[in-house]
Amino acid sequence: MNGALAGLVILALGDSHMTHMISPLHEALEEQGAIVHSYGMCGAMAEDWLTKATSQCNAERHDKSGPVVNYQTQPTWLLTDLLQRNQPNLVVIELGDNMAGYGTLPQLPRDFINQQVREILTPIKARNLPCVWIGPPWGGDTNAYHKSDARVRELSQLLAQSVAPCSYIDTTTFARPGEWSTFDGEHLTATSYRKWSLDIANALVRLKGTLHVAEVR
């Protein structure tokens, strides 16, 4: 298959942002030649990918098949199962907003976030898989989420320092605060999600040569 990401089998996972991007991001990566398996769980933090629990909604999509979206309480997926099932040679993680304590904690819970990052990366490092962590986009300081620009900036800076050996994509560089519209202060509009998805795909194209990806067998 032709494309800048040809040869990649990508396992992409994330929170409600990934659920909303289950089509635009999946398709943007496929258009670059990758084989993609995408999973999104609403409200997910890193720990939710490591122990069986429930999520309020989820979405998944595999290769050329259409998306499957569930808006009812569902069992969570386990990262170890997904790694075994899909055999990726690159893992893409989109997580952060649900760990930031927007509007509920006076300060960013740095130790908690660092612990969450270490735990979710453990099975990835054990398999010596390259990975890319996608940082949060700008939002809006609404009554629903209180996602302030200052907290987003601080969260993104912390993740940039914490997610090694994953490469980090700082998506606050893709747009100015407020440039991408949201419908509730945290979740983007469909147009904004398409822009974010294309920017993520382009960033992965630029990173590919640094990821030391094993060839697909």
Q: Is residue 148 in some structural domain?
A: yes
Mean pLDDT, residues 64-77: 94
How many Cα atoms sit within 13 Å of 24 on the Cβ side? Answer: 19
Indicate the pairing of strand 90-94 with strand 131-134. parallel
Residues 6+ apart with CB under 8 A from 17: 40, 94, 97, 136, 137, 187, 188, 193
Q: Is residue 161 in some structural domain?
A: yes
Cα–Cα distance for residue pair 197/148, rounded to 1 Å: 22
- What pLDDT band is residue 215 in, cutting at 50, 70 and 90? low
pLDDT, tens digit, for every residue of 137-155? 999 998 889 999 999 999 9
Q: Percent of the chain, pLDDT > 70?
A: 98
Q: Is residue 4 in some structural domain?
A: no
Give the domain range for residue 176.
9-210
Give SS3 for 108. Answer: coil
Mean pLDDT of the chain: 95
Please name the amino acid found at residue 46: A
pLDDT, tens digit, for every residue of 73-118? 989 999 999 999 999 999 999 999 999 999 999 999 999 999 999 9
Q: Is residue 77 in some structural domain?
A: yes
As for how many domains the chain has, the answer is 1
Q: Is residue 2 in some structural domain?
A: no
Q: Is residue 143 in some structural domain?
A: yes
Indicate the pairing of strand 90-94 with strand 9-14. parallel
In the prediction, which pLDDT does 117 show? Answer: 98
Q: Is residue 127 in some structural domain?
A: yes
- What pLDDT band is residue 217 in, cutting at 50, 70 and 90? very low
CATH number at residue 170: 3.40.50.1110
Q: Is residue 52 in some structural domain?
A: yes
Q: Percent of the chain, pLDDT > 90?
A: 91
pLDDT, tens digit, for every residue of 184-214? 999 999 999 999 999 999 999 999 989 877 6
